[in-house]
Amino acid sequence: MKTITVEGDHYAVGRNIGILSKRIFADYIKPSENFQRLLPWRDNGWLAQVDEITKSRLPAVYRELQGLADGCEQSFNDMLLWNCRGDLLPTGPEGCTSILANRENDILLAHNEDGDPNLRDDCFILDAKLTNGTRFVCFAYPASIPGHTLGANSHGLAYTVNNIRLYDNSPGLPRMLSARALLEAKSTDDFITLLNQEKRVGGFHFMVADCINKNPQTVEAPLQGVSAQSISDLGVHANHLVHSKFSHIEQQITQSSHARQERMEVLSQMSRLDVQEQDFLRILGDQENTDLPIYRTDADDPDGENTLATVMFRLTSEGIDVAIRLSPISALSYCTFLARTA
């Protein structure tokens, strides 16, 4: 798995991602059925409203998106449209599974990143040092603003993201651009405050923890609001809303998401004090359900997804150990320690 290291401002981050993504966007993404299905929203006034909202509410992220479009040598509107795909296409191929253990002396947070297998060779790890002093590490898709998969930063915060498939797409902040702002959050409280301040278009689920407050959260954030619940022991989540606060919201629950959620709940019945990193890798590598496994490798996966990466974050008072693999059963592809600097 490639790693790209960037130092600079938000525009520089976006431009570097764009340069890396130029070929795959032109050859695969833009001609794809998923991109073509987005086109009705490009010129009907919806995208113009989203453009103005993003420019006003998230100017730094907006500059990063401009850099992404320039590096990719594509129009800004097409790049913005592609980064709204999850808001407009609830059936898109982006899934994922997360699990967290609040242990006695640390927190373990692990995640399978499931996505389009045709993008496997073009995904990468981004290690960025911004001019404002914040360093962050995340898994990134080509031609996409980072922050909507998994990430950790030098403020001592880490989070993972699960796709939620919603149908309402009233104009607001695209969920991927809103998630990008979270890569620079300074704490779990700051993270949740940022979510509560912004009206998103679509929605995500997050598992989030920081090195200072031993109070990790499972957070469901559809456009209708935010539900944050503390995890005192073990928590699991797949790709649909499960908090009672949002039981009324219309959503698409795929067979895979339902099966993974049920299987994770069974497998995670263990003592949080005894759970080890290998236990999490075993759970994320589970294929007991051959048709709808947690670790997804089937070319005929019903959601069109395969596991593209597996991350393990370990949070202590000193900082975050980051370990990223190509899969739960692969050797390490990337590891680093993010010392808490603020």
| Cα Dmax for the chain | 55
CA distance 102 to 80: 37
- Name the more confident of 342 and 106: 106
CA distance 287 to 148: 25
Q: Is the pLDDT of residue 94 over 80?
A: no
CA distance 22 to 69: 9
Percent of the chain with pLDDT over 70: 98
**Residue 277 DSSP SS3:** helix
What count of other Cβ atoms lies within 10 Å of the Cβ of residue 299?
Answer: 7
Asked if 231 and 218 touch (Cβ cutoff 8 Å), the reply is yes
Q: Tell me what the pLDDT averaged over the chain comes to.
A: 94
Structure-block tokens of residue 154? 């030098």
Length of the chain: 342
**Residue range 292-308, pLDDT digits in tens:** 999 999 999 999 999 99
**Residue 212 DSSP SS3:** coil
Handedness of CA 179, 113, 300, 252 (dihedral sign): negative
pLDDT of 42: 92
Structure-block tokens of residue 88? 């407009």
**Residue range 204-247, pLDDT digits in tens:** 999 999 999 989 999 999 989 999 999 999 999 999 989 999 99
CA distance 69 to 55: 15
Burial of 5 (0-12, 13-18, 19+ CB in 10 A): exposed
What count of other Cβ atoms lies within 10 Å of the Cβ of residue 28?
Answer: 16
Q: Give the residue from 96, 118, 148, 113 showing the smallest Cα distance to 34.
A: 118
**Residue range 150-207, pLDDT digits in tens:** 999 999 999 999 999 988 878 889 999 999 999 999 999 999 999 998 788 888 999 9
DSSP 251: B
CA distance 190 to 167: 28
- Extents of the domains making up the chain: 91-339
pLDDT of 92: 67
pLDDT of 198: 79
CA distance 204 to 213: 23
- Give helix 277-284 / helix 255-267 axis angle, nearest 10°: 150
- Name the more confident of 94 and 55: 55
Question: CATH code for 91-339?
Answer: 3.60.60.10
pTM given for the model:
0.95
Residue 221: C-alpha distances to residues 73, 178, 202, 227, 255 (Å): 33, 11, 9, 6, 22
